[in-house]
Amino acid sequence: MRQKLLPMAGLYLVQGLPYGLQSGLLPMLLRTGGLSLTRVGLAKGLYAPWLFKLVWAPLVDTRGSPRVWLALSTAGLGVVCGLLAAVPPTEAGQGGLPAAAAGLLLLLNLGAAVQDVALDTLAVQLLEPRELGPGNTVQVVAYKVGAALAGGGLLVLVPALSWPLLFLLLAATYLLAAALAWAAPALQQLPKSQPSGPRPRTQCQLRAVLAVPGTLWMAGFVFMYKLGEQGAEGLLPLLLLDHGASAQELGLWNGVGAVACSIAGSSLGGALLTRPWQPLPLLKPILQLRLVGLTCQTTLLFCLDALETSVGPGTVLKGAALLSLCLQHFLGGLVTIVTFTLMMRCSQFAPSTLQATHYSFLATLELLGKLLMATLAGALADSLGLRSCFSLFLALSAMSTLYLGLVPTFYQ
């Protein structure tokens, strides 16, 4: 199992780099450049290629080997990062994002989404049922480490290192990862690819995906379980920035410290899943604790808004904000690892020629839920106000807890 998980860890780590770059570094640069919360949120539309994974997932299922798709897409990410190094860095933090940078970031997300389909297919086919807990722990933890390095880590390093040098380092990292994807012995143990044939119709594929036991319930849960959490996570750092916290501080808090807590939560979830624990009995208490934590976080923001105070050095509110970030990311990590284990378990019941499409269907819905609220959170805050916006986040988080009451017997 270790021979499988080590190369997968390295590949999931580099897969998290684009997400961290755009969720941690880019919003801070745009906000400090004077953009509204609405415009900062709409910049997350660059994640759009991730929503179309079902377009190429059937190709990964039926055309060539997932290892070939993985190596080529990872190498393509290195090429795009090399091109991003040539974009003038001084434009990124001013009136908006340069068109050239936006186009290259779209390509970066396209390559990362193709890589994600290939790597998840590889994991579904390689991992035994008893290895799903550790495998998903490696997946989530490595991805978050990559996101933290590219988000908080780069935000701290930008003043010291030039933008071109940072992206050249990322390009070299991706090219090394592509070599790993091609040469790792464990990744060559995949079943032989199916012979190429006519591509099945989209409607037939969708019916086949939905016919897999437990898929309908799982699809509803993965779409809604992150709605409230993602909205709060996207807004809180920007609101703290407005209340006196510096971008460098938030890079450490939200990009490194809070992500470390998320990794700790995911690691704890993986450890629990290696015991006789089942995923579903863990979900309900974790979701309830997450709702309590979000309630405390909302109360803190209401106090900041009402008192019109700052989170300056040494203040109690600054410590409370840090604790709130860490707690929510810790519980979010726990929820994620259990949910991803359920997703992969469900996809393993699909035929081998449908597994990439099935898992991509669930993963696309999971991303759609996160991206929808992350994109609209700024507009909701600007139009509804802080209190109404975070009250909505609380209601959405409660919905996912109530939805567990509809779980089919297939998962029990």
pTM: 0.65
Structure tokens at 39: 């415009």
- Averaged confidence pLDDT in the chain: 76
> What is residue 89's predicted lDDT score, i.e. its pLDDT?
45
Spatial distance between the Cα atoms of 149 and 255, rounded to a whole number of angstroms: 8
Residue 235 has pLDDT above 80, yes or no: no
CA angle 372, 102, 181 (to 5 degrees): 85
pLDDT tens sequence across 341-395 = 888 888 888 887 787 788 888 888 888 888 788 778 777 877 888 788 888 888 8
pLDDT tens sequence across 4-28 = 777 777 888 888 777 777 766 666 6
pLDDT tens sequence across 127-151 = 776 777 677 777 777 887 777 776 6
Average pLDDT over every residue of 94-114: 76
One-letter identity of residue 202: T
Spatial distance between the Cα atoms of 226 and 393, rounded to a whole number of angstroms: 10
Inter-residue contact 228 to 389 (CB < 8 Å)? no
- Percentages (nearest 5) of helix, strand, coil residues in the chain: 85, 0, 15
CA distances 354 to 201, 221, 282, Å, are 13, 21, 29
Question: Of the given ranges (33-42, 76-85, 322-331, 373-382), which has the lowest mean pLDDT?
Answer: 33-42
3-state secondary structure 199-254: CCCHHHHHHHHHHCCCHHHHHHHHHHCCHHHHHHHHHHHHHHHHCCCCHHHHHHHH
Ramachandran region, residue 168 (left: φ > 0; alpha: ψ -120 to 50; beta: rest): alpha
Ramachandran region, residue 246 (left: φ > 0; alpha: ψ -120 to 50; beta: rest): beta
Give the three-class secondary structure for 88.
coil
More reliable by pLDDT, 76 or 122 = 76
> What is residue 67's predicted lDDT score, i.e. its pLDDT?
79
Inter-residue contact 6 to 132 (CB < 8 Å)? no
Give the three-class secondary structure for 66.
helix
Residue 160 has pLDDT above 60, yes or no: no
> What is residue 196's predicted lDDT score, i.e. its pLDDT?
43
Residue 195 has pLDDT above 50, yes or no: no
Spatial distance between the Cα atoms of 109 and 102, rounded to a whole number of angstroms: 11
Which domains are assigned to the chain? Answer: 2-191+202-411 (1.20.1250.20)
Q: Above pLDDT 90, what percent of the chain?
A: 1
Spatial distance between the Cα atoms of 293 and 328, rounded to a whole number of angstroms: 6
Residue 404 has pLDDT above 70, yes or no: yes
Average pLDDT over every residue of 108-123: 83
Question: Of the given ranges (88-102, 109-123, 307-321, 395-409), which has the lowest mean pLDDT?
Answer: 88-102
Q: Above pLDDT 70, what percent of the chain?
A: 74
Neighbours of 39 (CB within 10 A): 17
CB-hemisphere CA count at 13 Å for 13? 17
In degrees to the nearest 10, what's the CA dihedral of 180, 186, 188, 193? Answer: -120
Residue 91 has pLDDT above 60, yes or no: no
> What is residue 279's predicted lDDT score, i.e. its pLDDT?
76
Structure tokens at 69: 């798709």
Residue 193's pLDDT band (boundaries 50, 70, 90)? very low
> What is residue 50's predicted lDDT score, i.e. its pLDDT?
76
Average pLDDT over every residue of 183-198: 57
Residue 194 has pLDDT above 50, yes or no: no
Neighbours of 211 (CB within 10 A): 11
